Amino acid sequence: MAVRNYIPETLEEALELRRDEHAIPLAGGTDIMVQHREGIGIAPDVGKPVMIISNLAELKGIRRRDDGFVEIRALETPASIASSDIVPWHVRQAAARMGAIALRNMATIGGNIGNASPKGDLPQPLILLDAEVVVASVGSERRMLLDEFILGSKKTALRDDEIITSVLIPEKEFTHLFYRKIGTRRANAISKLSLSAAAVIRDGIIEDFRASSGAAGPKVIRSREAESLLTKRQVSEIPDIADDFIAAWDRAISPHAMPRYRRNTTSRMLLHFLEALQDETLTGIIG
């Protein structure tokens, strides 16, 4: 029954523990400690060695890189992400609404991604923005789209010798932005449904259109098929395209519980955003 747990002092040491012991990284513990709780007075049983990586300086920091990406290192908390002015708006919105204040100071972006819950707050806007995730193992590093890294509910492409080290978000200016999280209540809530949308409109042309749905299927959903119905089209064409777009999006999502609510609400929010795109007086954040 005795399992060794570790507190590595460097990333290198952590990667070796990961390789040799397949130790589970614990940063804030806000998922692991809940998932493995055993009751009052009993230590959680994770079933594998745990390494507490909370203090690894190499995994902290938020910075704007020269290559057009904003980098958020894996141990950054929702609190720090929400208050950073270089993090894109959608991600800050999601970070600011995660759980309770205490959780927002304990949880980490690496953990939220690694947990891969369809209700997770951060993956949804990150996938909207085509964010990439960087994972490291001893002597090597891989980089891939977050949308491909998260395979399904609670499933990721992380190998048992790898650690998530950072998230890279391409910097992009949008003319229209939309974010909604419908929680079980107004604060300290798990997401019932969420939606991000963004567009770039220039000279009456939709240069970019994208959306992502959280808590509406086994993982965050983007539908390139639906998005392509709108991109490069004229704003004036939206009324003709809207029904097909909504139908395509509805086919892409697959909510299990409360399907009617989740489908109808998603459609209403998307339609609302499309209507805002047609209103020349509205730009920026769409309320």
Partner 1 sequence: MSATRIDDRIVRVDAMEKARGEAEYVCDIRFPGMVYGTLVRSTVARGKILSIDVPALPEGYSFITADDIPAEGRNELWMIAKDWRCFASGDVRYVGETIGILCGPDRGMLSYLKKHIAISYEEETPAVTIDEALALKGGPIAGEDNIMCSLYCEKGPKMDDVFRQADSIFEETLETGFQEHVHLETNSAIVRQEDGRFTFYISAQCPFYVRKSVSGLLGLRPEDIVVKQTTTGGAFGGKEHFPDVLAGPLLVACNKIHKPIKMVFDREEDMLYSVKRHPSKVVFRTALDKEGGILGIDGKIYYNCGAYLSASYVVLQRGVFHANGVYDFPATHLEGYGVATNTFPSDAFRGFGAPQTLFAIEMHLDHIARKFGYDPAEYKARYFLRKGGETVTNGHIVEDVKLPEMLEQIATASDYYRKAKEYGIGSGRGIGISFYNHGGAFTGNGEQAIIKAHARLVKEGSRVRIEVGSTEMGQGFQTTLRKIAANALGISISQIDYPNPDTSRVPDSGPTAASRSTMVVGKIVEDCAREMKERWDEGDFSVEKEYVHPEGHPWDQDTFRGDAYLGYGWGACIVEVEVDRLTNEVRTVGIWSSHDIGKAIDELVVHGQVNGGIIQSLGYASMEKMENRDGRFRQSSMSDYVVPTSMDFPSQEWFLVDNPYQWGPQGAKGMGELVFNGADAAYVDAVERALGVTVVKIPIPPEDIEEAIENAR
The site for partner 1 (CB under 8 A) is made up of 37-43, 180, 182, 184-190, 192-193, 258, 260-262, 264-265, 268-269, 272
- In whole angstroms, the minimum distance from the beta carbon of 249 to partner 1 comes to 15
Our CB check for partner 1 shows the closer of 42 and 85 to be 42
- In whole angstroms, the minimum distance from the beta carbon of 268 to partner 1 comes to 5
Residue with tokens 């005795």: 2
Counting every residue written for the chain, the total comes to 287
Our CB check for partner 1 shows the closer of 87 and 269 to be 269
- In whole angstroms, the minimum distance from the beta carbon of 34 to partner 1 comes to 8
Our CB check for partner 1 shows the closer of 40 and 67 to be 40
Our CB check for partner 1 shows the closer of 24 and 269 to be 269
199 three-class SS:
strand
- In whole angstroms, the minimum distance from the beta carbon of 41 to partner 1 comes to 4
Which alpha helices (DSSP H) does the chain contain, by range? 11-21, 32-35, 78-82, 89-96, 101-106, 109-115, 123-128, 146-149, 224-228, 238-252, 259-278
Pick from 114, 122, 134, 280: nearest CA to 196: 122
- In whole angstroms, the minimum distance from the beta carbon of 85 to partner 1 comes to 25
Measure CA 203 to chain center.
Answer: 31
Our CB check for partner 1 shows the closer of 34 and 280 to be 34
Our CB check for partner 1 shows the closer of 260 and 280 to be 260
- In whole angstroms, the minimum distance from the beta carbon of 77 to partner 1 comes to 19
- In whole angstroms, the minimum distance from the beta carbon of 83 to partner 1 comes to 19
Pairing of strands 50-52, 284-285: unpaired
Our CB check for partner 1 shows the closer of 5 and 137 to be 5
Report whether 172 contacts 147 (CB < 8 A).
no
* b/e code 215-241 from CB counts within 10 Å (16+ = b): bbbebbbbbeebbebbeebebeebeeb
Residue with tokens 């999502």: 253
Q: How far apart, in whole angstroms, are the C-alpha atoms of residue 210 and residue 195?
A: 11
As given in the structure block, the two tokens for residue 275 are 């209507």
